[in-house]
Amino acid sequence: MFHPQLQLSGSTTLTSTSTPFHCTPEAEAAFLELKRCFTSAPVLTQPDPELKFIVDMDASDTVVSAVLSQRSPSNQKLHPCAFFYHKRSPAERHFYIGNRELLAVKLALEEWRHWLEGSILLFIVWMDYKNLSYIQTTKRLNSRQASRPWSHIALNFVTGLPPANSYSVILTIIDRFSKVAHFIPLSKLPSSRETVDLLVFHVFHLHGLPTDIVSDRGPQITSRVWRSFCSALGINVSLSSGYHPQTNGQTELANQEMETALCCMTSANPSSWSVQLPWVEYDHKSLTNASSGMSPFECALDYQPPLFPAQEVEVAVPSVHDHMRRCHRTWRKARATLLCASARTQSQANCRLASAPVYTPGQKQLLHPLSSSTPYSVRQLLDVRRRDRGWQYLVDWEGYGPEERCWVSHHHILDPSLLHAFYTSHSDKPGVRAHADILRLVANLLVLQLMRVRRLEDGKLLLSLFRLDLDHAPP
């Protein structure tokens, strides 16, 4: 970092304990030169995305530090672009040397991610621990190296189930990284405080505190109690909506497979679904996931728990033998059902996908500047409110419950008949009705002009489109 011709021998003698302190002219000159190097511009160079980045990092017992550098094209010397410093937490101080250095890599890459991902050239990581080179070729990481499972979770409720041992609701909690799911039977929809207790009992004390929770806009999640609880623990709350339900797609898919398995397994006795639910969860964790190529057990625990043996083992106690046979039969049925449900879901998703076109180098294609979004059916508009310079309407989505209702800008309402029906039943409500009156007046003038030039067919078309009164039309 310092100039190679800088002579600091005069100042190093001042730090010696064997000689008395005496500031010589040489030491004073060396000190002033050192101060000039620290204060003269540029101390840090501006990062250039067209040059290769070099990340140099190190970790001690208490801190982690890193330097982001680039070689100058003029003299091919390293110039620092940014510095990073992190004081390790008490838990991080217990890491062994490999995880300690790997923590430095993780934190440094997260700190300068916006520069490193936008760079044209591959960047270089410098460290003083050679054993971490295995990270480049390893096929399986432990739970700490795999970005801590259960840091990002999603939850959803399944309602409308037949009563079974006083249960009628299922709470689905899924780890978005490993795809491990917990299916928790409940007697009713919980309140916000009860939802907090359920997460503490079934997630927090087993997997630690998450950093992000994805859920729908149910009353338990949108309440002030839930938001205050997550804010106090530093948990980010991500809410989905009926306009874009794919946000919580992992729990939706897990619920579909779970419901399909329960329907097949309890078709003769629907009230026994609570007894079969643990086996459905066990089979869900043991099946290979298409996204990760591993089962949730393997992704979270780094091993696959033993399954039932292929052949039954004779047990001396008849009751135990009968119970094992029932468990084995239930497990095989649940596993087969989940495999069929997964294959059917994949087939239905693939049938809507069109094959990608084949392009050749140099071929020109016309790209549409706007991407079309899928419209969703609306049952009715419930209310209107003023927001900024526009209006928002409370939308009741078709096929979704009351908890999915949300406010949508009037620009996103594609069907004018929804506004007409809303203001017909709520004539006292404000909104974009004035804009509709202006459009109707313009349509009247247009129709009159068209009819004057004897384009009666166009006039009739617009008359039927805007529902104008024929009595006001000129002869």
pLDDT in tens, 129-184: 665 655 555 444 554 555 568 888 999 899 888 888 889 999 999 988 888 899 99
- Maximum average pLDDT range among 309-323, 352-366, 412-426: 412-426
Residue 390: pLDDT over 50 = yes
Buried b (16+ CB within 10 A) or exposed e, 419-450: beebbeeeeeeebbbeeeeeeeeebbeebeeb
Is the backbone of residue 199 left (phi > 0), alpha (psi -120 to 50) or beta? alpha
Three-class secondary structure of residue 471 per DSSP: helix
Higher-confidence residue of 176 and 5: namely: 176
Question: In this predicted structure, which of 144-148, 244-248, 400-404 has the lowest mean pLDDT?
Answer: 144-148
pLDDT at 268: 79
Place of tokens 């095989």: 332
pLDDT at 470: 42
- Mention every residue, 6+ apart, whose C-beta is less than 8 A from residue 155: 171, 172, 173, 174, 199, 213, 214, 215, 251
pLDDT at 170: 93
Average pLDDT, the chain: 75
CATH number of 152-347: 3.30.420.10
Mean pLDDT of 107-119: 84
Determine how many CB atoms are found less than 10 A away from the CB of residue 65: 16
- Amino acid letter, residue 215: S
- Mention every residue, 6+ apart, whose C-beta is less than 8 A from residue 220: 189, 190, 191, 192, 194, 195, 226
- Maximum average pLDDT range among 22-26, 326-330, 437-441: 22-26
CATH topology of domain 25-135+440-465: Ubiquitin-like (UB roll) (3.10.20)
Angle at 295 between CA 246 and CA 185, to 5 degrees: 65
Residues 195, 180: Cα–Cα separation, whole Å: 19
CB-CB contact of 435 with 411 (8 Å)? no
- Which of 4, 455, 427, 403 is CA-nearest to residue 217? 403
pLDDT at 28: 83
Three-class secondary structure of residue 394 per DSSP: strand
Higher-confidence residue of 313 and 423: namely: 423
- Which of 184, 250, 188, 182 is CA-nearest to residue 216? 250
pLDDT at 169: 92
pLDDT-based confidence at residue 44 (cuts at 50, 70, 90):
confident
Mean pLDDT of 274-279: 87
pLDDT at 42: 57
Determine how many CB atoms are found less than 10 A away from the CB of residue 113: 10
- Mention every residue, 6+ apart, whose C-beta is less than 8 A from residue 279: 265, 327, 330, 331, 334
Give domain limits for the chain: 25-135+440-465, 152-347, 378-425
CB-CB contact of 279 with 286 (8 Å)? no
CB-CB contact of 53 with 70 (8 Å)? yes
- Mention every residue, 6+ apart, whose C-beta is less than 8 A from residue 362: none
Percent of the chain with pLDDT over 90: 5
CB-CB contact of 235 with 155 (8 Å)? no
Q: Which helix (H) or strand (E) holds 254?
A: helix 249-265
Three-class secondary structure of residue 68 per DSSP: strand
pLDDT-based confidence at residue 436 (cuts at 50, 70, 90):
low
User: Are 152-347 and 378-425 in the same CATH fold?
Assistant: no
CB-CB contact of 390 with 405 (8 Å)? no
pTM comes to: 0.44
pLDDT at 110: 86
pLDDT-based confidence at residue 373 (cuts at 50, 70, 90):
low
- Which of 60, 105, 112 is CA-nearest to residue 82? 112
Higher-confidence residue of 390 and 213: namely: 213
pLDDT at 4: 39
Residue 54: pLDDT over 60 = yes
Higher-confidence residue of 151 and 97: namely: 151
- Which of 196, 218, 192 is CA-nearest to residue 205? 196
pLDDT at 429: 84
378-425 placed in CATH 2.40.50.40: yes
Residue 445: pLDDT over 70 = no
